[in-house]
Amino acid sequence: MTAVSTSAPVSPSHAARNRRLVTLLIYIVLILFALFYLLPVFLVLITSFKSTENVSLSRMWELPSTVSLQSFEVAFNELRSGLLNSVALVIPGTLFSSFLGSINGYVLSKWRFPGANIIFPLMLFGMFIPYQSILIPLAEFLRSVCVVPGTGGAACEMTLFGNLLGLILTHVVYGLPITTLIFRNYYMEVPDEMLEAGAIDGAGFFGLYRHIVLPISLPGFVVVIIWQFTQIWNEFLFSVTIAQNSPTVTVALQNLSGSQIVQWNVQMAAAFLAAIPTLLVYVLLGRYFIRGLLAGSIKG
């Protein structure tokens, strides 16, 4: 005795209609989540374009009756030195940590040496050390390193503490674990035969890196640059502690909220101005970010 199925076959047109309906529902849910996620950004923008008289808690969600750019002018004047200091910090900090991470990734992925399997996990351990736990010894170390010797009996005229130089060095060292990890995973996908062919042609350690590895490293560099740029630009604790004489944009933004009378439109405009550089980096380089981030994660 054989069992007879009572379910009717689903027609191709009906299945296609179901798939379109599911896709539409997914898009609706994603759009709702995106709108909810962007609510703070919307609030920042509409508040920054309001005049001081039009800013109140009861009217916070209302659109500005008249668009005013006065808050941006005041915020830019307050943040100008901080923005310049952050630019002077983030460019060398990002470039040096990216380049050194690339060299480390190249060595750890393509050059086998005794102890490599121990050194790499130890380097990754640096990613999990919280800033607060090393802040005091780091400050003491930077204060002990003399950059400019003193004259006229003074012991030292300038150390690494209290200026951007020490802060750049801190971010370079602190960024090495994550940049090394990203580049190592990326270079693991590079066939060894390419380097062996280069070695046969007479290229050495730096020759292989310069002529073979570096030209194909653009996706990895994009990921690292976006990551390091965002981390260094938005970092506050090291900036307020180490570079006390050269406040960065995050410190200047915090100082804006220190007065007794809070000008919310100025603070929102300042927050928007401080976020523009990182937004530009993501907009210009974002399409390479996921591609480079996933490089090395799938073994073919």
Task: Label residue 294 by pLDDT band (50, 70, 90).
Answer: low
Paired strand residues for 156? 149
Task: Label residue 6 by pLDDT band (50, 70, 90).
Answer: low
For residues 115 and 191, the answer to whether their CB atoms sit within 8 Å is no
pLDDT tens-place string over residues 133-169: 899 999 999 999 988 887 776 778 889 998 999 999 9
Main-chain dihedrals φ then ψ at residue 22, nearest 5 degrees? -65, -40
- Domain 71-298 adopts which CATH fold? MetI-like fold (1.10.3720)
Phi-psi region of 263 (alpha: psi -120 to 50; beta: other; left: phi over 0): beta
Looking at residue 246, the DSSP 8-state letter turns out to be: S
Who's near 127: CB < 8 A, 6+ residues apart?
177, 178, 181
- Residue 277 CB coordination number (10 Å): 17
Query: In angstroms, rounded to a whole number, what is the distance separating the alpha carbons of residues 198 and 280?
Result: 38
- Supply the pLDDT for residue 82: 92
Annotated domain spans of the chain: 71-298
pTM of the model: 0.83
Query: In angstroms, rounded to a whole number, what is the distance separating the alpha carbons of residues 284 and 85?
Result: 23
What average pLDDT does the structure give for the chain?
A: 87
Give residue for tokens 């668009």: 67
pLDDT tens-place string over residues 174-213: 999 999 999 998 898 888 888 888 888 888 888 999 999 9
